[in-house]
Structures are given as structure tokens and as C-alpha cells.
Amino acid sequence: MFKKILIANRGEIACRVIKTCRKMGIKTVAVYSDADRSALHVEMADEAVHIGESPSAKSYLLIDRIVQACKDTGAEAVHPGYGFLSENKAFQTALAKAKITFIGPDAPAIEAMGDKIESKKLANKAKVSTVPGFMGEIKDVAHAKKIAKEVGYPVMMKASAGGGGKGMRIARNESEVEEGFLRSQSEAKSSFGDDRMFIEKYIEQPRHIEIQVIADRHGNTLYLNERECSIQRRHQKVIEEAPSPFLDEKTRKAMGEQAVALAKAVKYVSAGTVEFIVDTKRNFYFLEMNTRLQVEHPVTELITGLDLVELMIRIAYGEKLPFKQKDVKINGWAMEARVYAEDPYRNFLPSTGRLVRYLPPEESKTVRVDTGVQEGGEISVFYDPMIAKLCTYGKDRKTAIAHMRDALDAYYIRGVSHNIPFLASVMGKKKFEDGKLSTNFIAEEYPDGFSDKDLPAKDPVPLVAVAALVHSARMHRAAAITGQIPGHGRKVPDAWVVVVSGHGSDDVEHKVAVTHGDDGFASGRVKVGKATVQVASDWTFTDTLFVGEIGGAPVTVQVERRGVGYRLSHAGAQLDVMVLTAREAELARLMPHKPPPDLSKYLLSPMPGLLVSLAVKEGQDVKAGETLAVVEAMKMENVLKAERDGVVKKIHEAPGASLAVDQMILEFG
């Protein structure tokens, strides 16, 4: 077996590969950029090599630097992870030339499947079902309009070298083709260095279901069942599961066999994924083949009991697959939720900064956390904002969802915005619970974007009870301390007023009575209005999670002290409260409320990023809906448009400027 492997990647996937290498007794080499000097994958690896500046084009995408790192450290093989150079044939060729093993497919297979236009032609030859469309390269906007009209609206415009949702747009009419084609082409050039585009028919209400394949160099090619990846936003997967709640055994077998046929047609070796779109009648069409390990591979591992990274390493070393197709089973159900540093309340704009507190849920037989960050680490503007992949496992789908809800409640992140409230909301949607999924799920369930109203309606009594119990416990501790000083003793009241902040509406007051139990201040009887609940927990003053039972039902609540108040988080919802005495509440009602500043005159950057272009100049009249600027963040271009008619009074930033979140770009007169 290999003695040393270099991981040509970063973040959670680098950490994931290192874990398997440790299990196999293989030493590891990490590579890192300036921004990743203190990253978790660097800390975990046996050795680490600096390969360049923070932008990926000046570090993780430099083939010669990585090959040299292999030579300098004596690494015999390279695992590319996903993204970056994982599907770059030139990288595989350069490694082969240096007599270093690439843990993945050979260059011809990467080339054949990496080009979406050529891969569709090959799929047709292999008798794999494909989506109707134009298989050639689109020359320009005029050509795109012509092809779209011939294929028939709606159409999907895609970058030939694309992936991860970048360089993709749906167009339902000619004007959407005109704008979307240029945006997609620009994104493709920025992300992949290749702006070739193609167009295919967009299938309404599709499911995105993919087949995991694995192949060795001894003629064995197998499929490891499917993954349902239909919950997507901007063509980026958000939640994946295995198996699919939609497929029957007949369709699963047919899709698996077609995936194997395609893999054999290109002499595929290693782990790969054949993606399909499936319509409401279970007709399926080839979408693309990813010649690498997928982000969502853990759900396949959880239901099959296989370690895909280990299989990739063993195949690369020349070993045979140790099982046959008949041995591949489906045991239980697995879910994966991608936890991102992004703000779901601001249209999912990426969030960067330091992880001031980071406490993922404890791993167990039912919970798995694949992460590449740690407390104190930095979420950089240079890379994908993924924090972790949270996976849960259960005997069936309902159980896996229940475990996911509990794990999301226990995921404690502070310092950057994150999408956990959104993930909790998806888990609570009836259509999701019923398995009625499509790639339109998010657009249909959140037509106006995500907001607090999308969170499951919750009885406020449990959280109000926790707040009152925690605050009362703190006051009892303070009284016990000051009571030891002559003349400073004080009595803690049993009655409180819990004021829940309205966030734009009126505050809500709850009259609460607390009776602590004999087994500690974190347990007792709490009366909220006319309701009385029994609370039991072993919470202590240093705990960030209040884990226990309320009214006999298990509950996990994040409790954060914020000045004189508390912030409680549960089921995706946040509750800002103050626990006051009756007199304090009376005085609080008299406090004036400062109105928020009027920002309607300004165009502010909604995210940290690069100001790519300005479409207006000072003194120009603009109409509502007119494009004002384009800001690029995380390789995605975001078009900022005027919300109302106005006149541009002053431009504060020029194209090329690096913007902070809420930085002023221009102002209106």
C-alpha cells in the first residue's frame, strides 16, 4: 500500500481524506495557501507544504506547485478531493509523467466526461437516455436565441466545463436568454477558464437523482445505489439523501445499469457519479458524469457501510473490488445537510469572518459531521463558504429526519451568519416530510425568499420557560455569592416577566413563575401564563446548550447571554428575550425606541466581494428594476438592481473595488 499520500485540496474534504488515510496507516501531506496557513487540514496532516497566495488561481490550481510538493515530500499518490483540480486532465497527466499515482480516473475518462457537450454525445452512443438539446458549442447571444427557440422554452444554459451550479441559467423567453447567457458565460470564464456554453431542454418539476459508481482496473464496474439531490438553490445542492424516496427497485436497477454502461464506455476507473434528472413518471435522462468523489458521498457510505475514499485508494494501488453487485445493499436511511456560512435572511449572501464559537453536534452512530473548520478559524472570501456537511442516519426516512432536526438544534456557530435556520425550515416542510421533492422545491416553498415566517410555528411556552429558569438560576447563584458578604444578602423573586423582542413589531410579555426542583436550579416547575410545564435538565452555567426535557418531550435549546438579555435558538428560530422583575418590566415599557436609519437613499453591497462593474453614472436617471452594479462573491456574479425610480447623486466606489458587507456603492438624490 502507499506509504504517503498528498491531498490536493482544502477544507472538509481534505480532512475527510486524512481520516481514512490515518485508519489505513498512510501518512498524509497537506497543501495550503496564505489564507489557509492555520486551517484544520494543515493541522491534521503529518506534513504541510505552502503552495501560494490566497486566490485559488495562485495556489490550489497550480499544477506545477503541487507536483513539486509531491517530489519534495516523497508522496507517492495524490487524492484530489472534489473541485479545484479533481477533474483536470492536465493534472492527471502531469502526475503520471512524474510517476505519481492519481487517485481517480485516467485522463481520457476525465476529458470525455468533463466536457458536458462531448459527454452527452458519448452517452448517446452508450444508449444512455439524454435530454433533448443542442450538443454543439453556442457561438454568441444571437446563436443562443436561435437554438433556444428551436429546442423550445424553457431551456437551460450551461457552461460546458461547469459544475457546482456555476455558469447555469434557466431561460423562459428571449430576453432571459440574452441576459442569462452573458452572465453564465462570464461566470464560466471566471470559475473554469472556459466560457463555452450549450443549451438543452429544461424539464419541469424534475428530480435530481444520481448513481454512485465504482470501478477497478480488473474489469469490475458496480453501482452503489442512488442519492436524491433535488433540494437545490441556484443549482447548488443543499440537502441530499440516500436512498431516494421516489425510486422503485425497477427504476433503480435501470438507472444503475445505464450508469455502469456509460462508465464502461469510457473505461472508467475509481469512484464517479452519473447524474440524472427524473420526471414525474420516473423517466430519467443523463445530465452529466462527475469524474471524482462527490460532496454528498457520506450518505452512500452510511447506507452501504463502505468507505469510498478507502476504495479509491485501494483501486489506485491496483487492488480488486472486494465485493460484487449482489453484495451492495441498502441499510437504513441517511440525510446530509450542507451547513454554509451564508445569511438566509439576506438572500443567502455569503458571510465571511472568524468563527468566534464553533461547537458541532457530537458524532455518534446516528450523527456524522464532516468539517474543515474549528473554533477561531476564518471563513475566507477566497473559497466556497461551506462550514460542514451534517449527516444523520436512521432505520427509515422519518427517523433520519428526526435525528437531523436534533443535530441542527445542537449545532452552535457564532461569528458568521449560517444557514441552519433555513435547513431546519426545510426539514419541517410537509412536502419534504412526505418526500414530494423536485429541483423547484425551494423556489416553490420560498417564493419570496426565506424569512422567519417560513419557520415551523412553535409554542413559545417551552423557550420562555427555559429563559426564565436559566435567568432565575443565575440570580440565585449571584444571591448566594453576595449573601456571604455582610449587608449584601438579597432575595430572588419567584415571579418574572419575560419580554420577547418583536423585531419590528410590538414586544410580547409573558408572566412567569419559577419553582426550582430539589435536584438543581436547571430543573423545576415553570408556569407561563396559564400553562405549567415541568422542566428537567443537567444544564450548568458554562453550557451553551440547554439539553433536557420539557413536559416529558426531549429538547435542545441554544442559550446565549447577550448583555442583560438572552438569545435562545431552537428549530431554526431565534428568540431574543429579557427576563425582568415586575418593577423592571414597568420601567422598560417607558424606554424610548430608536427608529432604524433610513438607508433607502443608498445602494449598499449586500455581501463582501468585488465590484465587477457599474452600469450607471452620476446624474443619471434610473428606473425600478434597472441594473446598477454587478458584485462578485465566491465566484458568483450578483446583479444589483434599483428598487425604485431615482437619480444617481454620487458614486462612492469604482469597478475593481473590494467591498465589505453594507459598504456604500452609490447614493441617490
Question: Which pLDDT value is given to residue 218?
Answer: 97
* 3-state secondary structure (DSSP) of residue 566: strand
Q: Is the pLDDT of residue 464 over 70?
A: yes
- Of the two residues 8 and 132, the one the predictor is more confident about is 8
Q: Look at residue 458 in the predicted model and tell me its pLDDT.
A: 72
Which of 288, 296, 301, 632 is catalytic? The answer is 288
In tens, the pLDDT along 546-603 reads 999 999 999 999 999 998 899 999 999 888 999 999 999 999 999 888 787 888 899 9
Res 219 pLDDT > 60: yes
Check pLDDT > 80 for residue 242.
Answer: yes
- pLDDT averaged over the chain? 92
Q: How far apart are CA 230 and CA 210, in angstroms?
A: 10
Whole-angstrom Cα distance, residue 252 to residue 212?
Answer: 11
The reported pLDDT for the residue numbered 127 is 92
Q: Tell me what pLDDT residue 489 has.
A: 64
Q: Give me Rg for the CA atoms of the chain.
A: 27
Residue keyed to cell 440565585: 476
Q: Could you count the other beta carbons within 10 Å of the beta carbon of residue 307?
A: 16
Residue of 116 and 233 predicted with greater confidence:
233
> What percent of the chain stands above pLDDT 90?
75
Look up residue 414 and give its three cell numbers. 457564532
Cα–Cα distance for residue pair 34/627, rounded to 1 Å: 35
> Does the pLDDT value for residue 382 go beyond 80?
yes
pLDDT tier for residue 484 given thresholds of 50, 70 and 90: low
The predicted-structure confidence for 615-629, as pLDDT tens digits, reads as follows: 999 999 999 999 999
Domains present along the chain, CATH in parentheses: 4-103 (3.40.50.20), 132-201 (3.30.1490.20), 351-457 (3.30.470.20), 461-588 (3.30.700.30), 602-668 (2.40.50.100)
CA 308 from centroid of its chain's CA atoms? 21
| 3-state secondary structure at position 252 | helix
Confidence tier at 483 by pLDDT (50, 70, 90): low
CA 570 to chain centre: 19
Q: How much is the pLDDT for 460?
A: 86
* Set of cell numbers at residue 434: 412526505
Given this model, what pLDDT does residue 225 score? Answer: 97
Yes or no: say if 307 and 324 are a contact pair by the CB < 8 Å rule. no
More confident call, 195 vs 336? 336
pLDDT over 70, % of the chain: 97
What residue type is assigned to position 153 of the chain?
A: Y
613 forms beta bridges with 630
State residue 481's pLDDT score.
83
Instruction: Reply yes or no on whether the pLDDT at 528 is more than 80.
Output: yes
Active site residue 336: no
Please tell me the predicted confidence (pLDDT) of residue 398: 97
Contacts of 603 (CB under 8 A, 6+ apart): 628, 629, 640, 664, 665, 666, 667, 668
- What is the model's pLDDT at position 352? 85
Among the ranges given (280-284, 630-634, 642-646), the one the predictor scored with the smallest mean pLDDT: 630-634
Which range scores top for mean pLDDT: 138-152, 315-329, 469-483?
315-329
What lies within 8 Å, CB to CB, of 441 at 6+ separation is: 230, 231, 232, 431, 432
How far apart, in Å, do the first and last CA atoms of the chain sit?
70
Q: Are 133 and 152 in contact (CB under 8 A)?
A: no
